[in-house]
Amino acid sequence: MKSKKLSEVIIKTFKSNGFVLSEPDVILDSDFIIERSGEKFRSSMFTFEREDGKTMCLRPDLTVASCINFLKKKSSSKIYYSGQAYRRSGNKGANFINDQLGIEILGSKNQIQDDFKVIKTILSSAKKIKRKNIKIKVGDINLFKSLINSLEMPERWKLRLIRHFWRPKYFEELLKRLEKNTDIDSISFDTDKKRLYEMKKLNQDNMIAGRSISEILKRFNKKIKDPRSFDDGKRIVTIIKSFLKINCKLSELDQKLLDFAKKNRLKKNIFKDFKSILNLKKLNQDINFIVNFGRDVEYYTGIVFEVLSGKKEIARGGRYDDLLKSLGAKKNIPAVGAAINLKNI
């Protein structure tokens, strides 16, 4: 009963901030999700076969389900949802049912305003249900991309590091290889060239693991044409590791980034696109910026955040501008959202 009353208070807050109810489907086409979003959800999904042999699944993620709903024109662009996501976990005894209340802003082009709106609405909800000792952790995937793209290293390494940033363990392995200049072996390189020629014969709009064949071919071309010799890996890795240690109050962030750029002889303006983060100062809230935060979800592309009450995570969210395209949109559609974990309130 208490949980129901708290949910009602949160939903009222969502509505008062202009969010409209959306009810995403509970049962989804599992092949569609895997084809569009890669293997990210395969191991965690609960699947079953229909009588016609088609493989379906319980929705593993309410953001993905809401995006599919939006693309089918079953919802407005500023929505809230209340429901359950069903995912297996590697943790023994973990509950596979996640009760969530969430909000999404889909298709709006005012990134700074939308990021602020989502976080402020979640924060208002937490205060309405009288959560105490509220803190916010914030990160920004775009800052990492800005750093990598500013460093002088082969394009193939930039692509790898950006693509696998969300997989911390594998990312560390890549850094070790980069440090020792241990590139892909000649057999893998020749295999890539063979795939390149094979894929040129296919329909360029076909999707493989969330990317069109034309996008994959562009990456192959960059990798194959890139110079193979590279001797500065150790210095590059030192810079990246130093960047990943940045952890400070939001009020200190702009100076921290300027000092970092100066120390490593980088251009001062490489971190120019973090206005959305600095705009959060207007919340007058205890906010920590952590570069290494929010890397565990593949589809985040910009700001990522977590709202805590004491030590409990009560909400989490971020920006995911590439997800709708991977789910079938013709182009990237700006999107940001967050979900409240009802179990922790």
Q: Model confidence at 31, in pLDDT bands (50, 70, 90)?
A: confident
**Nearest to 96, CA basis, from 105, 86, 84:** 86
**pLDDT tens sequence across 304-315:** 999 999 889 999
Interatomic CA distance for residues 322 and 38, integer angstroms: 13
Distances (CA, A) of 342 to 87, 90, 100, 279: 16, 21, 6, 28
Q: Model confidence at 96, in pLDDT bands (50, 70, 90)?
A: confident
Q: Which helix (H) or strand (E) holds 238?
A: helix 233-243
At 106, the amino acid letter reads L
Q: Model confidence at 225, in pLDDT bands (50, 70, 90)?
A: low
Which domains are assigned to the chain? 1-106 (3.30.930.10), 155-243 (no CATH)
In the predicted structure, residue 89 carries a pLDDT above the cut 80: no
In the predicted structure, residue 218 carries a pLDDT above the cut 90: no
**pLDDT tens sequence across 318-345:** 999 988 988 888 899 999 999 998 888 8
Contact 233, 181 (CB under 8 A): yes
